Every structure is written in structure tokens, then in C-alpha cells.
């Protein structure tokens, strides 16, 4: 009986360690209001639902576990625009699944604070930051973001930045920025133009992401608007828009596999 109990304990501990070694950190915006035209207009904002949920579903189905973190542990806001059917194409069943998830999932609705996630950063093998205009308000000004990005770069851990999220690379000064010289993708200049003129009908304070990334010293890559496009350069995976989920997920899972293989070889 004692041997049997000991075996059970060892198995449980092994599963716990395995789960910890395969955990992905999802960093989410909690901002809900975007100022346009120098504050003359306000618009509801947040995380783009499909940019988040497709990435989440991909890593979960691949056997990874997830923690959520937001500034101050506030539940992430979903951008109302992202619920529009045009962003889901032939994935309406997944859209319904995503809407149910954000209402009922206990982990999503009880995120860690970014401070706590930063303290625990060594527990994670990867990080994903979904897009949406919300992050241009809170995450871009959060002191934990450059700490996390520099840590994951130093450890060569897979870092996924979706659509607007590559702008967070700009939070790290050039002289200490590990991504200078990397190939990178993000929402394209033309897509920003369309968003500002035909969707939001106003200009936000933080914009021209591609131009700023290029000026910082990254090699910006893009394809046509609405392209299913993502770029992988070493540990960094970046994607262009809400229609790039398939491309992003493929490259991010590849990055995770490569990281785990390298870690195993080192050990």
C-alpha cells in the first residue's frame, strides 16, 4: 500500500511539473475606451476576440496550459467590433464557442495581475499577446511589458505578438532592445488607414506601427490587407490582422516545438 501511494504521488508530481513546464502566458488588455482625434471622440475598445481565441484554442488543443494576466488583474475587455461575423468567415461555431468561453471560463475571468505574472515569468515557456486597440492604451504604458519581452527574448522563449501587439516592442529602448534586426509583421499601414477612416472613423494617439518598428531597426514585412500572414524570426512570431490566425498558430506551435527540443537537448 505504501509503495502504491508513493507511485501515485510521484505520478501526480510529474504531471504537475509537466504542466508547469508547458504553460503559456496570455497577456491581455483591460482597456475599454479609446480616444480618437485628440480626445474629441470616444470609442469602445479592447482585445480582438478571434485574435485571442484562435491562438488560445490552438495551444490548448496542442496540449499546453494557459495563464491569463492583465494590468491590475482586471478582466480583459473584448472589442465589440471583433464580434462582427465578417471576422469569423466559416468559423461561426468557433465564434459561439469563444463568446461562451469569455462569459464562463473561470481562469479568463480571474486573471493574474501583470506584476504577479512578471514575478512568475520563469514558469512559462511562451507568451502570447493578442491584438486590438486596447493594448495601445494600457499595455503600451505598463512597466511590466518591456520586462517580460526582454526576458522571453533572452531565454529564447516563443513570443507571439498579434496584429497591434508588435507595437509593444517599441516599449524597449533601442540600445537594449533584443529585437533590433529581427523580421517583424504587424497591422499594415493600409490596414491602419482603413480602420481609422472606415471602422473607427477617427485617429488614435498611437499609430503608424510599421513605420516606428522600421525606424527602431526591425525589418518590417507585410502582405495585402486581410492576408493570412505571419512572420517567424527566431523566438519571435508576429502576425498582421484578424485573418492571420492560421498562419500565426502554425508558426507559434513550431516555435514551441523548437524551444522544447532545444531545452531537452540542453538538459
Q: The cell 531565454 sits on which residue?
A: 155
**How far is it, in rounded angstroms, from Cα 156 to Cα 201?**
39
Q: Are 244 and 227 in contact (CB under 8 A)?
A: yes
Q: Which domains does the chain have, with CATH numbers?
A: 27-266 (3.40.50.880)
> pLDDT 10s per residue in the chain (267 long)?
555 544 444 333 333 334 446 999 999 999 999 999 999 999 999 999 999 999 999 999 999 999 999 999 999 999 999 999 999 988 999 999 999 999 999 999 999 999 999 999 999 999 999 999 999 999 999 999 999 999 999 999 999 999 999 999 999 999 999 999 999 999 999 999 999 999 999 999 999 999 999 999 999 999 999 999 999 999 999 999 999 999 999 999 999 999 999 999 987
Q: Crossing angle of helices 49-61/92-104, nearest 10°? A: 90
**How far is it, in rounded angstroms, from Cα 28 to Cα 137?**
12
- Residue 50 burial (C-beta neighbours within 10 Å; 0-12, 13-18, 19+): buried
Using alpha carbons, select from 161, 152, 140 the residue that is nearest to residue 218: 161
**How far is it, in rounded angstroms, from Cα 229 to Cα 238?**
9
In eight-state DSSP terms, residue 31 is: -
Using alpha carbons, select from 173, 140, 177, 187 the residue that is nearest to residue 27: 140
**How far is it, in rounded angstroms, from Cα 166 to Cα 11?**
40
Q: Which three cell numbers stand for residue 216?
A: 527602431
Query: Do the strands 230-233 and 236-239 form a parallel or antiparallel pair, or are they unpaired?
Result: antiparallel
Three-state secondary structure call for residue 263: helix
Contacts 24+ apart (CB under 8 A), 261-265: 262/156, 263/125
The CA–CA distances, whole Å, from 15 to 5, 8, 28, 212, 253 equal 15, 11, 27, 44, 21
Q: The cell 518591456 sits on which residue?
A: 146
Amino acid at each position: 500500500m505504501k509503495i502504491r501511494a508513493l507511485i501515485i504521488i510521484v505520478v501526480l508530481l510529474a504531471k504537475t511539473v509537466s504542466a508547469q513546464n508547458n504553460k503559456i502566458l496570455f497577456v491581455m488588455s483591460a482597456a475599454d475606451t479609446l480616444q480618437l482625434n485628440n480626445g474629441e471622440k470616444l470609442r469602445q475598445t479592447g482585445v480582438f476576440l478571434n485574435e485571442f481565441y484562435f491562438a488560445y484554442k490552438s495551444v490548448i488543443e496542442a496540449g499546453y496550459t494557459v495563464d491569463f494576466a492583465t494590468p491590475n488583474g482586471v478582466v480583459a475587455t473584448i472589442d465589440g467590433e471583433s464580434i462582427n461575423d465578417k471576422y469569423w468567415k466559416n468559423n461561426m461555431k468557433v465564434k459561439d464557442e469563444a463568446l461562451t468561453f469569455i462569459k464562463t471560463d473561470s481562469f479568463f475571468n480571474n486573471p493574474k495581475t501583470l506584476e504577479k505574472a512578471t514575478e512568475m515569468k520563469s514558469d512559462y515557456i511562451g507568451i502570447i499577446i493578442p491584438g486590438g486597440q486596447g493594448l495601445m492604451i494600457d499595455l503600451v504604458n505598463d512597466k511590466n511589458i518591456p520586462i517580460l519581452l526582454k526576458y522571453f527574448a533572452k531565454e529564447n522563449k516563443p513570443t507571439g505578438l498579434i496584429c497591434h501587439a508588435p507595437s509593444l516592442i517599441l516599449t524597449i529602448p533601442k540600445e537594449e532592445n533584443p529585437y533590433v534586426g529581427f523580421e517583424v509583421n504587424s497591422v499594415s499601414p493600409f490596414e491602419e488607414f482603413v480602420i481609422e477612416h472606415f471602422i473607427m472613423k477617427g485617429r488614435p494617439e498611437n499609430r503608424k506601427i510599421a513605420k516606428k518598428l522600421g525606424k527602431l531597426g526591425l525589418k518590417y514585412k507585410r502582405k495585402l490587407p486581410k492576408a493570412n500572414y505571419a512572420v517567424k524570426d527566431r523566438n519571435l512570431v508576429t502576425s498582421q490582422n484578424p485573418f492571420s490566425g492560421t498562419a500565426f498558430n502554425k508558426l507559434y506551435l513550431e516555435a514551441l516545438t523548437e524551444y522544447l527540443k532545444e531545452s531537452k537537448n540542453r538538459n
